[in-house]
């Protein structure tokens, strides 16, 4: 009986020992497999952080407006007798543009002039008699009143005649006539638009947060789109009040338009140029990743062949191929040996680093904190990365270079 128990116990020990040994052997082989498994690398583009002169700007949307512009209209009624301009004519200040029929008023002028002459003669006669004491003060006052009334009537008729002639209030370009010969016009009806196109206003708005950065005399560039900001202007006016509904402040710049390329009412992209800011870290906007936890970038550190960062020189910028080739050639010449023909591709370890972005201009973003000069930052391919990813660099298509040339 005891012998049977000993045999059974021995079998149990052998089975348990075999299971434990098998598990240990399996775990060892699995660990060896993953330890020797080649590290998967991801190809990205990258740029080296280097402080530079930063030219911050404020981008806005605006519209063009003539320095002087008005829709011309008559103050009185009448029938159009003559239209003395054509579309897009350049007219001078005081030039008659449209004439209404004024025959009735012109016919009354001789009678009014005769009344003035009669009243003047009567007034002179009574004035002489008054000095000699013959005429009474009452007769003299009556003659003076009649003279003033006659002169007033003549001036009234002349004013009516002047209202029948529509004159240009300033020099400029006249638009399309809105009336026809023989038409009966009403007061306030638009005849045509007159615009002084030699000087143009550019009206735009700026967010209230950046209102303090805008000053009189500041340079402005503008154009029909962001890629054609060929026109220049200077700020001549800033509204002292912020719109409480839009939270924007109105700004006006003045530009020379003697070349006639701008049209009143035209849509414009506006860029206010601010003071140059030296020693600023700037990255392509493609390098910045936004998440619920904040904005971050991937910083690269050199790794050894096994995918681990080297003990020395971590985070150093990549040496260019020309520099690397030159140093190898010099070393080979010094040792009297030919330079190596091929080298293993350099790998890097990606680390997630949270940063604080600032202003964004023309595809670039200012980094106010989180990075320092000399670090390498991934500019594209971040969607394939996580902290600890091993990467190689291919800058054949580099967003950093694209942003710099825009």
- In this structure, how many other beta carbons lie within 10 angstroms of the beta carbon of residue 383? 7
Lowest mean pLDDT among 130-134, 272-276, 312-316: 312-316
Q: Which long-range contacts (CB under 8 A, 24 or more apart) does 78-82 make?
A: 78/102, 78/164, 78/184, 78/185, 79/182, 79/183, 79/184, 79/185, 80/179, 80/180, 80/181, 80/182, 80/183, 80/184, 80/185, 81/181, 82/181
Confidence band of 361 (pLDDT split at 50, 70, 90) = confident
Determine the pLDDT at residue 11. Answer: 80
Lowest mean pLDDT among 86-100, 110-124, 386-400: 386-400
Confidence band of 308 (pLDDT split at 50, 70, 90) = low
pLDDT at 181 > cutoff 70: yes
What's the CA gap between 365 and 399, in Å, rounded?
Answer: 12
CB of 178 closer than 8 Å to CB of 186: no
Looking at the domain that runs over 58-65+193-277, which CATH code has it been given?
2.40.30.170
Determine the pLDDT at residue 268. Answer: 94
Determine the pLDDT at residue 143. Answer: 87
Determine the pLDDT at residue 4. Answer: 75
pLDDT at 317 > cutoff 90: no
What mean pLDDT is predicted for residues 358-369? 86
Determine the pLDDT at residue 79. Answer: 93
What's the CA gap between 197 and 92, in Å, rounded?
Answer: 13
* Beta bridge pairs of residue 100: 80
Q: For 92-136, where are the alpha helices, taking DSSP H only?
A: 103-132
Lowest mean pLDDT among 30-34, 177-181, 297-301, 355-359: 30-34
pLDDT at 335 > cutoff 80: no
Confidence band of 36 (pLDDT split at 50, 70, 90) = low
**Which CATH number, 1.20.1270, 1.20.140, 1.10.3470, 1.10.287, labels domain 102-163?**
1.10.287
Joined tokens for residue 121: 């003669």
pLDDT at 323 > cutoff 50: no
Over the stretch 374-392, which tens digit does the pLDDT of each residue have?
A: 999 999 888 888 888 888 8
pLDDT at 246 > cutoff 70: yes
What mean pLDDT is predicted for residues 182-203? 92
What mean pLDDT is predicted for residues 124-131? 84
In this predicted model, which residue has the larger pLDDT, 228 or 202?
202
Lowest mean pLDDT among 19-28, 289-298, 301-310: 301-310
Tell how many helices (H) and how many strands (E) occur in the chain.
5, 23
pLDDT at 24 > cutoff 90: no
pLDDT at 315 > cutoff 70: no
Over the stretch 136-178, which tens digit does the pLDDT of each residue have?
A: 888 888 888 999 999 999 999 999 999 999 999 999 999 999 9
127: left (phi over 0), alpha (psi -120 to 50) or beta: alpha
Determine the pLDDT at residue 309. Answer: 56
Over the stretch 258-278, which tens digit does the pLDDT of each residue have?
A: 888 889 999 999 999 888 888
Its CATH architecture, for the domain 41-54+278-405, is Beta Barrel (2.40)
**Torsion 17-23-26-28 (CA) sign:** negative
Report the chain's mean pLDDT, rounded to a whole number.
83
Confidence band of 78 (pLDDT split at 50, 70, 90) = very high
End-to-end alpha-carbon separation of the chain, Å? 95
Confidence band of 400 (pLDDT split at 50, 70, 90) = low
User: Hey, where are the domains in the chain?
Assistant: 41-54+278-405, 58-65+193-277, 102-163
Determine the pLDDT at residue 375. Answer: 92
What's the CA gap between 376 and 367, in Å, rounded?
Answer: 14
What mean pLDDT is predicted for residues 228-251? 92
Highest mean pLDDT among 20-24, 169-173, 337-341, 382-386: 169-173
Percentage of the chain surpassing pLDDT 70? 85
Determine the pLDDT at residue 402. Answer: 56
* Three-state SS annotation for 50-76: CCEEECCEEEEEEEEEEEEEEEEECCC
What's the CA gap between 243 and 234, in Å, rounded?
Answer: 22
Confidence band of 132 (pLDDT split at 50, 70, 90) = confident
Which has the closest alpha carbon to 179: 73, 92, 102, 103? 73
């Amino acid at each position: 009986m005891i012998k049977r128990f000993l045999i059974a116990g021995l079998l149990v020990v052998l089975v348990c020992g075999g299971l434990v040994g098998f598990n240990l052997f399996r775990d060892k082989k699995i660990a060896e497999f993953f330890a020797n498994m080649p590290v998967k690398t991801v190809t990205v583009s990258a740029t080296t952080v280097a402080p530079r002169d930063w030219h911050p700007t404020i981008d806005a949307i605006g519209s063009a407006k003539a320095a002087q512009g008005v829709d011309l209209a008559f103050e009185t009624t009448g029938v159009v007798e003559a239209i003395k301009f054509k579309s897009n004519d350049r007219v001078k200040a005081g030039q008659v543009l449209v004439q209404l029929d004024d025959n009735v008023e012109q016919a009354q002028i001789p009678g009014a002039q005769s009344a003035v002459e009669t009243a003047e003669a009567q007034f002179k006669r009574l004035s002489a008699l008054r000095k000699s004491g013959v005429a009474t003060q009452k007769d003299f006052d009556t003659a003076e009143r009649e003279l003033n009334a006659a002169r007033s009537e003549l001036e009234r008729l002349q004013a009516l005649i002047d209202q029948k002639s529509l004159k240009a209030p300033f020099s400029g370009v006249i638009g399309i006539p809105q009336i026809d010969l023989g038409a009966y016009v009403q007061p306030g009806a638009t005849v045509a638009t007159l615009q002084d196109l030699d000087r143009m206003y550019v009206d735009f708005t700026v967010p209230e947060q950046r209102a303090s950065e805008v000053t009189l005399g500041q340079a402005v560039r503008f154009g029909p789109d962001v890629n054609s900001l060929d026109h220049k202007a200077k700020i001549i006016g800033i509204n002292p009040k912020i719109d409480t509904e839009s939270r924007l402040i109105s700004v006006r710049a003045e530009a020379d338009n003697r070349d006639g390329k701008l049209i009143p009412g035209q849509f414009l992209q506006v860029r206010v140029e601010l003071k140059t800011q030296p020693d600023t870290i700037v990255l392509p906007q493609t390098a910045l990743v936004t998440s619920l936890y904040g904005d971050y970038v991937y910083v690269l550190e050199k790794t050894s062949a096994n995918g681990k960062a080297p003990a020395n020189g971590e985070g150093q910028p990549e040496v260019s191929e020309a520099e690397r080739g030159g140093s190898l050639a010099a070393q080979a010449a010094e040792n009297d040996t030919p330079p190596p023909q091929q080298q293993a591709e350099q790998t890097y370890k990606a680390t997630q680093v949270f940063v604080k972005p600032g202003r964004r201009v023309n595809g670039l973003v200012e980094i106010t904190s989180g990075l320092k000069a000399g670090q390498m930052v991934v500019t594209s391919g971040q969607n394939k990365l996580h902290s600890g990813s091993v990467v190689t660099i291919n800058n054949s298509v580099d967003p950093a270079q694209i942003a710099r040339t825009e």
